[in-house]
Each structure stands twice: as structure tokens, then as C-alpha cells.
Amino acid sequence: MNVILESLGDPIWQIGGGIMLLAALVLILALRSPDMHLSPRHQWLWTRITGLMCLSLFLVLSAGVVLFHGANAAPTVGS
């Protein structure tokens, strides 16, 4: 449990997650704007693709941070 709590306080996770969240919002707003001449079906499709890609990147970042902290917290075997 300490590994997860340490990971949540990691600045890389916090900043990276914040950047990905803001990027997802900006991309979705850009796709939904009237300046993008897309059909409603394509707007729906690209909104879902953008959301899934940002979610996937966030999960990869989270897994990497947890694995990094887990590897550092693992006890070393001494002779």
C-alpha cells in the first residue's frame, strides 16, 4: 500500500497526469468546435478515440510510476 501512496505523491505522475488531462480536454473541445467540419458520426468517433488514447497513456504512465516505486521498495537479498 505504501508503494501506491508514494506513487500518488510523485511529481512525474502528478504533472504528467495533469498534462494528459488538459491535452485530452483541449483535443476534445477542438474536435467538437464548429470550425472542424466533421459529420456528427466522425465527431463521435474521434472523440472516443481521443479519450481512449489519453486514458491508455495515463494508465501506462501510472503503471510505470508504480513499477518504479515498487522496484525501489523491494527488499534486496543479502548474503
Per-residue pLDDT of the chain (79 residues; tens, 9 = 90+): 676 777 777 788 788 888 988 999 999 999 888 888 889 899 999 999 999 998 998 888 888 887 877 777 666 665 5
pTM above 0.75, yes or no: no
DSSP 1: -
State the CB neighbour count (10 A cutoff) for residue 55.
Answer: 12
The CA distance from 39 to 5, in Å, is 44
Question: Is 20 within 8 Å of 61 (Cβ atoms)?
Answer: yes
Whether 10 and 61 have beta carbons less than 8 Å apart is answered as no
CA dihedral sign, ordered 65, 30, 43, 46:
negative
